[in-house]
């Protein structure tokens, strides 16, 4: 097993434990060693959502929230949009997104953990949400066709990938021209080296794998995005911040000197 495979399995195991802690009633997801446990836990979870938003959610979805922000607040969702949430976990952002886009829209959640998918599907059913679809897969190989999504959101998950260039490429592939990216993530200040990031926290704890601000900006531009912004919101460790990352996929990348990315389509889901 490669280092990348080992890290992915460690992440999968930790998030499976978090889901089981909720479904078995043994505690909240944050108490199971997942992203928010032991590392600036006050900066993770449902405290980053408004009381009104929390009131829209089943208890299980709220308890399983492990994110570092509130991507639904920055994604500019509109009625009729098709939304994809990468690393959808217990389904909190998918449920909120499905309600924002309405019956004419659709909200996909992608997760690699069976336990989280089961929890998310139950939470969506309990919330009476019918326009949410949860898919099993990894964000390096999104199981959706090219140019099929209006908005991609994610909540403290891209930092967990060991192949972030592939993730950004896949986001560009599935977004329609003019499609929007609005995510929350953990991002490092440019001054920190990879070793210094690792000193501040673990990979599964969302710290060691964080991209720097400039790495995010360069990576998004390299796959055809424009209007890129990376805005720090709160510090979770020295030089490490929760951040809002926004960008727009260029309608005509070649006209703006951006790369034209046309990766092969993945198999469709539905």
pLDDT of amino acid 170 = 97
pLDDT of amino acid 179 = 98
pLDDT of amino acid 201 = 60
| Alpha-carbon span 104 to 119, nearest angstrom | 25
Q: What is the pTM of this model?
A: 0.81
pLDDT mean by block of 10 residues, the chain; 270 residues: 68 69 56 40 51 56 60 90 95 93 97 92 93 96 97 92 94 97 94 84 60 96 97 91 95 76 53
| Alpha-carbon span 16 to 218, nearest angstrom | 33
Cα angle, residue 34 at apex, residues 29 and 36 outer, rounded to 5°: 85
pLDDT of amino acid 38 = 40
CATH-assigned architecture of domain 3-256? 3-Layer(aba) Sandwich (3.40)
pLDDT of amino acid 62 = 53
Token pair, residue 208, equals 């060691």
Q: Which residues contact 19 (CB under 8 A, 6 or more apart)?
A: 29, 64, 89, 90, 113, 115, 116, 118, 119
Bridge partners of 229, per DSSP, are 246
* Nearest-10 crossing angle of helices 3-23, 114-126: 40
How many separate helices (H) and strands (E) can be counted in the chain?
A: 8, 8
């Amino acid at each position: 097993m490669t280092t990348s495979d080992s890290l992915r399995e460690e992440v999968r195991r930790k998030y499976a434990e978090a889901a089981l802690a909720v479904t078995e009633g043994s505690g909240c997801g944050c108490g199971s060693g997942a992203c928010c446990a032991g590392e600036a836990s006050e900066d993770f979870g449902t405290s980053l959502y408004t009381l009104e938003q929390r009131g829209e959610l089943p208890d299980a979805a709220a308890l399983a929230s492990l994110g570092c922000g509130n991507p639904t607040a920055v994604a500019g969702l509109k009625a009729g949009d098709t939304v994809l949430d990468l690393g959808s976990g217990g389904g909190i952002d998918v449920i909120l997104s499905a309600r924002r886009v309405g019956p004419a829209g659709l909200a996909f959640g992608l997760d690699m953990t069976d336990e989280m998918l089961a929890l998310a599907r139950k939470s969506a059913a309990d919330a009476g949400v019918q326009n949410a679809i949860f898919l099993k897969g990894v964000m390096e190989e999104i199981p959706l066709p090219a140019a099929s999504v209006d908005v991609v959101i994610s909540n403290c998950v891209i930092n967990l990938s060991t192949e972030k260039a592939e993730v950004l490429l896949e986001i560009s592939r599935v977004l329609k021209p003019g499609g929007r990216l609005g995510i929350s993530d953990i991002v490092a200040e440019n001054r920190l080296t990879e070793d210094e990031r690792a000193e501040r926290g673990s990979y599964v704890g969302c710290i060691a794998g964080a991209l720097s601000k400039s790495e995010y900006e360069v990576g998004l531009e390299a796959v055809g995005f424009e209007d890129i912004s990376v805005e720090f919101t709160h510090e979770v460790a020295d030089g490490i911040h929760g951040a809002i990352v926004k960008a727009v996929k260029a309608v005509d990348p070649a006209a703006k000197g951006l790369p034209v990315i046309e990766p092969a389509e993945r198999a469709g889901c539905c």
